[in-house]
Amino acid sequence: MTNDIQKQYDRHDDVQSIMLHKSQVYAVPHRYIRYAATKSFFSTKMIQGSSVQEHGVKMLSLVEKLKDLKADLEKQTYIDVILQSLPPSFDPFIVNYNMNGLDKDLLS
Protein backbone atom coordinates (compact mmCIF):
# COMPACT_ATOMS: atom_id res chain seq x y z
CA MET A 1 0.00 0.00 0.00
CA THR A 2 1.40 3.44 -0.87
CA ASN A 3 1.87 5.97 1.92
CA ASP A 4 -0.97 8.17 0.63
CA ILE A 5 -3.43 5.31 0.63
CA GLN A 6 -2.24 4.09 4.00
CA LYS A 7 -2.74 7.56 5.52
CA GLN A 8 -6.38 7.49 4.38
CA TYR A 9 -6.97 4.42 6.50
CA ASP A 10 -4.90 5.43 9.55
CA ARG A 11 -7.84 7.40 10.95
CA HIS A 12 -10.08 4.29 10.95
CA ASP A 13 -10.26 2.37 14.21
CA ASP A 14 -11.01 -1.12 12.97
CA VAL A 15 -10.99 -3.38 9.94
CA GLN A 16 -14.76 -3.14 9.52
CA SER A 17 -14.67 0.64 9.07
CA ILE A 18 -11.78 0.31 6.61
CA MET A 19 -13.71 -2.27 4.57
CA LEU A 20 -16.85 -0.11 4.62
CA HIS A 21 -14.87 2.89 3.37
CA LYS A 22 -13.24 0.82 0.61
CA SER A 23 -16.59 -0.55 -0.53
CA GLN A 24 -18.04 2.96 -0.70
CA VAL A 25 -15.08 4.35 -2.64
CA TYR A 26 -14.41 1.47 -5.03
CA ALA A 27 -17.81 -0.19 -5.48
CA VAL A 28 -19.26 -0.32 -8.97
CA PRO A 29 -22.86 0.93 -8.91
CA HIS A 30 -25.55 -1.68 -9.66
CA ARG A 31 -26.95 0.55 -12.40
CA TYR A 32 -23.64 0.53 -14.29
CA ILE A 33 -23.32 -3.25 -14.02
CA ARG A 34 -26.80 -3.61 -15.52
CA TYR A 35 -25.95 -1.09 -18.24
CA ALA A 36 -22.79 -3.01 -19.17
CA ALA A 37 -24.60 -6.36 -19.26
CA THR A 38 -27.43 -4.90 -21.38
CA LYS A 39 -24.95 -3.30 -23.76
CA SER A 40 -23.10 -6.58 -24.15
CA PHE A 41 -26.33 -8.51 -24.76
CA PHE A 42 -27.66 -6.10 -27.39
CA SER A 43 -24.33 -5.72 -29.21
CA THR A 44 -23.18 -9.35 -29.32
CA LYS A 45 -23.16 -10.76 -32.85
CA MET A 46 -22.26 -14.24 -33.97
CA ILE A 47 -19.42 -14.34 -36.48
CA GLN A 48 -20.18 -16.30 -39.64
CA GLY A 49 -18.66 -19.77 -39.39
CA SER A 50 -18.20 -19.72 -35.62
CA SER A 51 -19.82 -22.23 -33.29
CA VAL A 52 -23.59 -21.84 -32.91
CA GLN A 53 -23.39 -23.72 -29.63
CA GLU A 54 -20.78 -21.36 -28.18
CA HIS A 55 -22.78 -18.34 -29.31
CA GLY A 56 -25.96 -19.78 -27.79
CA VAL A 57 -24.24 -20.46 -24.48
CA LYS A 58 -22.86 -16.92 -24.44
CA MET A 59 -26.25 -15.36 -25.20
CA LEU A 60 -28.08 -17.50 -22.65
CA SER A 61 -25.51 -16.64 -19.98
CA LEU A 62 -26.10 -12.95 -20.73
CA VAL A 63 -29.86 -13.54 -20.44
CA GLU A 64 -29.36 -15.15 -17.04
CA LYS A 65 -27.16 -12.28 -15.93
CA LEU A 66 -29.78 -9.75 -17.03
CA LYS A 67 -32.48 -11.69 -15.19
CA ASP A 68 -30.32 -11.73 -12.04
CA LEU A 69 -29.86 -7.96 -12.41
CA LYS A 70 -33.64 -7.57 -12.84
CA ALA A 71 -33.41 -5.96 -16.28
CA ASP A 72 -37.14 -6.66 -16.75
CA LEU A 73 -37.05 -7.52 -20.43
CA GLU A 74 -39.87 -9.62 -21.84
CA LYS A 75 -39.24 -13.17 -23.04
CA GLN A 76 -39.96 -12.16 -26.65
CA THR A 77 -37.40 -9.35 -26.45
CA TYR A 78 -34.74 -11.82 -25.36
CA ILE A 79 -35.66 -14.14 -28.24
CA ASP A 80 -35.72 -11.28 -30.77
CA VAL A 81 -32.27 -10.08 -29.71
CA ILE A 82 -30.84 -13.60 -29.87
CA LEU A 83 -32.27 -14.10 -33.37
CA GLN A 84 -30.94 -10.69 -34.46
CA SER A 85 -27.48 -11.66 -33.21
CA LEU A 86 -27.26 -14.44 -35.80
CA PRO A 87 -25.45 -13.86 -39.13
CA PRO A 88 -27.39 -13.46 -42.42
CA SER A 89 -26.94 -17.15 -43.27
CA PHE A 90 -29.52 -17.88 -40.55
CA ASP A 91 -32.21 -15.73 -42.21
CA PRO A 92 -34.14 -18.77 -43.56
CA PHE A 93 -34.21 -20.25 -40.05
CA ILE A 94 -35.41 -16.94 -38.57
CA VAL A 95 -38.18 -16.64 -41.19
CA ASN A 96 -39.23 -20.23 -40.50
CA TYR A 97 -39.17 -19.61 -36.75
CA ASN A 98 -41.37 -16.53 -37.05
CA MET A 99 -43.73 -17.73 -39.79
CA ASN A 100 -44.47 -21.18 -38.44
CA GLY A 101 -45.08 -20.23 -34.85
CA LEU A 102 -42.02 -22.03 -33.57
CA ASP A 103 -42.49 -20.45 -30.17
CA LYS A 104 -40.03 -22.74 -28.47
CA ASP A 105 -39.14 -21.83 -24.97
CA LEU A 106 -35.52 -20.84 -25.46
CA LEU A 107 -35.48 -19.40 -21.99
CA SER A 108 -36.78 -20.88 -18.81
Looking at residue 29, what is its pLDDT?
78
pLDDT of residue 85: 97
Q: How confident is the model at residue 30 (pLDDT cuts 50, 70, 90)?
A: confident
Give residue 88's pLDDT.
Answer: 96
pLDDT, tens only, 36-92: 999 999 999 999 999 999 999 999 999 999 999 998 899 889 999 999 999 999 999
CB atoms within 10 A of CB 46: 19
> According to the model, what pLDDT value does residue 16 have?
72
Cβ(66)–Cβ(58) below 8 Å: no
- pTM across the whole model: 0.69
In contact, 78 and 63? CB cutoff 8 Å:
yes
DSSP of the chain, one letter per residue?
A: --HHHHHHHHT--SHHHHHHHHHHHHPPPHHHHHHHHHHHHHH--PPTTS-HHHHHHHHHHHHHHHHHTT----HHHHHHHHHHTS-GGGHHHHHHHHHTT-------
